[in-house]
Amino acid sequence: MQRKWVVWLLLATVLVSAGAWLGWQQRHRLNADAPLSAQAQLGRQVFHDTSLSAAGQQSCASCHLKESGHASAHGLALGGPDMKSLGTRNTPSLRYLWQNTAMHLNDEGKAIGGFFWDGRADSLAAQAGEPFLNPAEMANADKASVVAKLSRASYAREFEQLFGATIWQQPDQAFAAMTQVLASYQTEDPDFHRFDSLFDQVMQGRARFNAAQERGWALFKDPHKGNCAACHTAEPGPDGSPPLFTDHSYDNLGVPLVFPPTVATSRQPPDAGVCKHPLLRGQANANTLCGSFKVPSLRNVAVRRAFFHNAVFTDLRDTLAFYATRDTDPKRWYGTLTRWGGVPKSLRANVNRDEVPYGQRAGEQPRLNEQDIDDLLAFLTTLTDADLVPRSASPAGSVAAANAVVRGAQRVASPMVAANR
């Protein structure tokens, strides 16, 4: 009798949470076929226009490829006037950013929000201005030269219709309008927030994880095992919004340098990440944040080809193994150098040593074994949006395996069996 009640209770919980979820999606008109606004349509053209770069060969879409989940196909990107300048940071995914906010300090004084790995841009529009002028990216000399190119674009008339025929005489305003339409495109186009991964379907009671994915999901949330959800939030928001797999905070994971450092990079100061943000200037804890980078969403992580802010890993399984054995087998990650040898000296004191999955000693048994890492990998493949599933895999030749995992999830008719939260 008691058991029956438990089953009913579980079923009710699932139905309520699936209902809240669907309600949220409907309220936000996600996945709706609503046409893009004129601004967003213009933004789409700008996003794909290579003529707006100094080399004439690069657009936003060249680095943020749709088929890679709007991330890069290979991490660090080449750009500049001759397409020979190599950037120093990994090209992140542009999906699931549309509700991100400017950086602010929460009640505990923790930095939350912001765009870029170091949170320096306050909005999508503020962000969109930077690549045009970044000498290692689209490399234009100034705003006026971007606007001059814009005024010659095939869609220049549409731009005038929206912002007035005299807009070209006001380069600053024209440049700002261009960043606004780019933001509108990334906000409105449903591709940037599809919420149609296998994970979402499971949460809505429309599909079921297979055994490996189920084990990975449990490890992901277990505070004594993966503890991934402590930063990569896996719970729906208070308004029923689906989890974004980031809490928008910053952390220093002790990510190794990209080896071998070239002469040029070894002379440069280490990438200090978020601590240079103006909001933190004068804050007592600002220095302890040096070396911290934004927690990225893990949605579509299985289609990415490079991981962490400096793209040091090119295999997702290595990235997970790093979490598992950074402290128990530091030589594997930092080479023959001593512990933290791969982390610039000035940043070593700031590395997160306490939080699970960290905090063990060299030689100890890692909290996550090889099987656990495989299971976490299987879970992460469920976070791939439906439009990307055929390519979902790490580059280590496991394309077929990862696809089989995703396809292998059993489809079920009733929400009852999805009781997994």
* Interface contacts to ligand HEC, rule CB under 6 A: 58, 60, 62-64, 77, 79, 87, 89-92, 94, 97, 115-117, 124, 127-128, 131-132, 137-138, 182, 226-228, 230-232, 251, 253, 255, 293, 295-296, 298, 301, 304, 307-309, 319-320, 323, 352, 355, 357, 376
DSSP letter (8 states) at residue 104: E
- In the bound state with ligand HEC, the residue whose beta carbon lies nearer, of 17 and 340, is 340
Please tell me the distance from the alpha carbon of residue 333 to that of residue 345, in angstroms, as a whole number: 16
- In the bound state with ligand HEC, the residue whose beta carbon lies nearer, of 149 and 304, is 304
Please tell me the distance from the alpha carbon of residue 158 to that of residue 177, in angstroms, as a whole number: 12
Closest approach, Cβ 202 to ligand HEC, in A, equals 18
- Least Cα distance to 149 among 127, 131, 166, 174 occurs for 174
- In the bound state with ligand HEC, the residue whose beta carbon lies nearer, of 227 and 325, is 227
- In the bound state with ligand HEC, the residue whose beta carbon lies nearer, of 119 and 242, is 119
Please enumerate in sequence order all residues whose Cβ is within 8 A of that of 12, keeping only pairs 6 or more positions apart, or say none: none
Closest approach, Cβ 320 to ligand HEC, in A, equals 5
Closest approach, Cβ 413 to ligand HEC, in A, equals 31
Q: Are 210 and 377 in contact (CB under 8 A)?
A: no
List Cβ<8 Å contacts ≥24 apart for 265-270. Answer: 265/88, 270/344, 270/346, 270/347
| Three-state DSSP class for residue 71 | strand
Helices H, strands E: what count in the chain? 14, 6
Closest approach, Cβ 127 to ligand HEC, in A, equals 4
Please tell me the distance from the alpha carbon of residue 376 to that of residue 378, in angstroms, as a whole number: 5
Closest approach, Cβ 409 to ligand HEC, in A, equals 19
- In the bound state with ligand HEC, the residue whose beta carbon lies nearer, of 26 and 285, is 285
- In the bound state with ligand HEC, the residue whose beta carbon lies nearer, of 225 and 339, is 225
- In the bound state with ligand HEC, the residue whose beta carbon lies nearer, of 136 and 202, is 136
Closest approach, Cβ 321 to ligand HEC, in A, equals 10
Please tell me the distance from the alpha carbon of residue 249 to that of residue 352, in angstroms, as a whole number: 13
List Cβ<8 Å contacts ≥24 apart for 72-76. Answer: 72/304, 72/305, 72/306, 73/305, 74/305, 74/306, 74/314, 75/305, 75/306, 75/307, 75/311, 75/314, 76/306, 76/310, 76/311
Cross-strand pairs, 115: 121
Closest approach, Cβ 295 to ligand HEC, in A, equals 4
